[in-house]
Amino acid sequence: MPQPSLVVEKLSFRYRDRQETAIRDLSFAANTGEILLIAGASGCGKTTLIRAINGLIPRSYKGEVSGRVLVHGEDTAGWKLSQISQKIGTVLQDPERQILGTKVLNEAAFGLENLGLPRAEIYQRVDESLAHLKITHLRDRDTFLLSGGEKQKVALAGVLAMRPSILLLDEPLASLDPASAGETLDAVRALADEGMTVLMVEHRVEDVLRIHPERVMYMSEGEIRYLGDIKGLSQVVNYREVKLPAKDILRRARRDPPPAEINVLPGAAGQTPALPAPMPQAKVSEVEVSKDEALVRFENVAFGYESAVEVLHGINLEIKRGDVIAVLGPNGSGKTTLVKHAIGLLKPKSGRVLVNGKDTRESSVAEIASTLGYVFQSPSHMLFAPTVREELAFGPTNLKHSKEEIEKEVKEALRIVNLSDKEQDPPLALSFGQQKRVSIAAILAMRSLILVMDEPTAGQDYQNYMNFMDAILQMPGFEAVIFITHDVDLAVIYANRVLLVADGRLVADGSPHEVLRDFPRLEACRVVPSSLLALNVSRFAQTGRFLRAEALAHV
């Protein structure tokens, strides 16, 4: 019988600045050529396990550790990080924390240069890894001009160029459009079939199931609760916590009482979803909603980061009271660039953007912040304070809210994102998923009129993001919500309007049913229909609206 590539024996760890144990008594083995999917709620210990395997624990992350990790039969406790990195490659959740090179070529070659390989071999390996991930066209691009999804693929290319025998992937699909996620998964399957051992931490379980991982590990509260084949997973996990295929959720949800219906914010365009927690909000209900009055207006907006290259082309768009807008489209299509124009971080090269009737060229970012609150795609672009509480109080303080208001706003925001017990923790000591929720809470506490979120579900388990989306859309005060997402189901469940962006152009703008039922157009824009979307489209004549799987189970 072949020896496992990786063996973890009775592994436990507690971070130095935490009271609770992050992982406890973990034991398992991973075989050559196997894909082991690791699933579980945000903060359950998945990333800590990855850090213990790749040697960052205890070398970079200090605390109490016990147990051992064996790589090809050898205990790694006495290895240097440089030695471990030649055997174990890691792609982090947040590519911003992994990319060092200014050019894609330099970034992909970084590890190989540190190994002192000949220049010709470095070029060969880099070109092979870029081709493997279908990103050869990015080879000479500046890394700081890449989208979040493109950065994720570049980080993976740099690791693959090292040719490790064990590959650790921590949320590799978090920033990828559905088509890119599929291509990345196909590449991972091919690597495993060629003999690589792959451990993949991922919340997008349905996507990973398509490449038939040999086994799945389900973690909860720092412990392994299930380790076995895929068929057994849907029977043991909480379907509200781990997102399963729609048919599996339907089968499980039929045994439970139907969820209560929640109505959507008045004035919303298009459909009214049944469950999406919407926004019966004070400010909306107190103000007469006019469909003719735009909160934000784009008038023939064009923009390019480089003078010779245009990223946005002739964007005309209005955001109105009551809009809950999902922005979909491929990596690098201009979605984040579009949204950054609304908040004044970028100014059009031609055309104009009006916020409450005022040209953003005439307003500072601070002035616009009282109207639009923006959650960045990467939490590392936002978080800086020593404690979570100070992080959340920063925005309201600068907006001159009273001490009493700030206290209330901070508490409410922490409750919504399920982090009330982390108020005194350092934000950057939290898991990526928890950091993302802190960044969302920081904007919620500011009580801007329009909430803008870039990839709000990245690093989040199903239950957490459904809960905070439900709560956000019921908060008093928001007149509109906009979220950029690669999660088609987020648009299906919560949006009353969908923008489809591709190649810097607005390809479609309408209700979810109008935009999302056109599967060929979606696929041309690298948006892959999910099982929940297909189910909703097939039942639309019966329901008249899109519903989450738990509700469809009782239709």
Q: What is the model's pLDDT at position 168?
A: 96
Q: What is the model's pLDDT at position 399?
A: 87
Q: What is the model's pLDDT at position 289?
A: 40
Identify whether 465 is part of a domain. no
More confident: 496 or 287:
496
Confidence label for 261 from pLDDT (cuts 50, 70 and 90): low
- List beta partners, residue 28: 8
> Is a pLDDT exceeding 90 seen at residue 350?
yes
Confidence label for 501 from pLDDT (cuts 50, 70 and 90): very high
Average pLDDT for 440-460: 89
Query: Which pair of structure tokens corresponds to residue 17?
Result: 């600045």
Name the percent of the chain lying above pLDDT 70.
Answer: 94
Backbone torsions φ then ψ of 118, nearest 5 degrees:
-60, 150
Whole-number Å distance between alpha carbons of 275 and 535: 16
Average pLDDT for 512-523: 96
Confidence label for 212 from pLDDT (cuts 50, 70 and 90): very high
DSSP secondary structure letter of residue 78: G
Tens digit of pLDDT for each residue in 223-244? 999 999 988 887 888 888 888 8
Query: Which pair of structure tokens corresponds to residue 99?
Result: 């990319």
Identify whether 308 is part of a domain. no
More confident: 159 or 94:
159
Whole-number Å distance between alpha carbons of 330 and 125: 27
Query: Which pair of structure tokens corresponds to residue 297?
Result: 């207006």
Whole-number Å distance between alpha carbons of 534 and 551: 15
Average pLDDT for 379-391: 90
Q: What is the model's pLDDT at position 266?
A: 35
Tens digit of pLDDT for each residue in 26-70? 999 999 999 999 998 888 899 999 999 999 999 999 999 999 999
Confidence label for 192 from pLDDT (cuts 50, 70 and 90): very high
Residue 103 sits in which domain range? 6-237
Query: Which pair of structure tokens corresponds to residue 496?
Result: 């009353």
Q: Report the phi/psi class of residue 114: left, alpha or beta, with left for phi > 0 and alpha for psi in -120 to 50.
A: alpha
Q: Helices 432-444 and 388-398, interaxial angle, to 10°?
A: 30
CATH number at residue 160: 3.40.50.300
Q: What is the model's pLDDT at position 283?
A: 33
Q: What is the model's pLDDT at position 279?
A: 34
More confident: 261 or 49:
49
CB of 499 within 8 A of CB of 325? yes
User: To the nearest whole number, what is the mean pLDDT of the chain?
Assistant: 88
Q: Which of 38, 94, 42, 84 is nearest to 59 (CA)?
A: 84
Identify whether 134 is part of a domain. yes
Q: Give the count of domains, the chain.
A: 1
Q: Which of 271, 308, 305 is nearest to 544 (CA)?
A: 271
Tens digit of pLDDT for each residue in 161-178? 998 999 999 988 877 888
Whole-number Å distance between alpha carbons of 454 and 490: 13
Q: Which of 501, 522, 520, 488 is nearest to 173 (CA)?
A: 488
Identify whether 346 is part of a domain. no
Confidence label for 503 from pLDDT (cuts 50, 70 and 90): very high
Q: 181-195, 197-211, 252-266, 407-421: lowest mean pLDDT where? A: 252-266
Q: What is the model's pLDDT at position 278?
A: 35
Identify whether 312 is part of a domain. no
Q: What is the model's pLDDT at position 271?
A: 40
Identify whether 82 is part of a domain. yes
Average pLDDT for 312-341: 94
Q: What is the model's pLDDT at position 300?
A: 97
Q: What is the model's pLDDT at position 99?
A: 86
CA dist 371 → 235, 252, 283 (Å) = 46, 42, 13
Q: What is the model's pLDDT at position 19?
A: 82
Each residue of 16-43: b (16+ CB within 10 Å) or e? eeeeebbbbebebbbebbbbbbbbbbbb
Confidence label for 263 from pLDDT (cuts 50, 70 and 90): very low
Identify whether 231 is part of a domain. yes
Confidence label for 2 from pLDDT (cuts 50, 70 and 90): low
More confident: 292 or 329:
329
Identify whether 290 is part of a domain. no
Query: Which pair of structure tokens corresponds to residue 61?
Result: 């992350």
Whole-number Å distance between alpha carbons of 342 and 186: 36
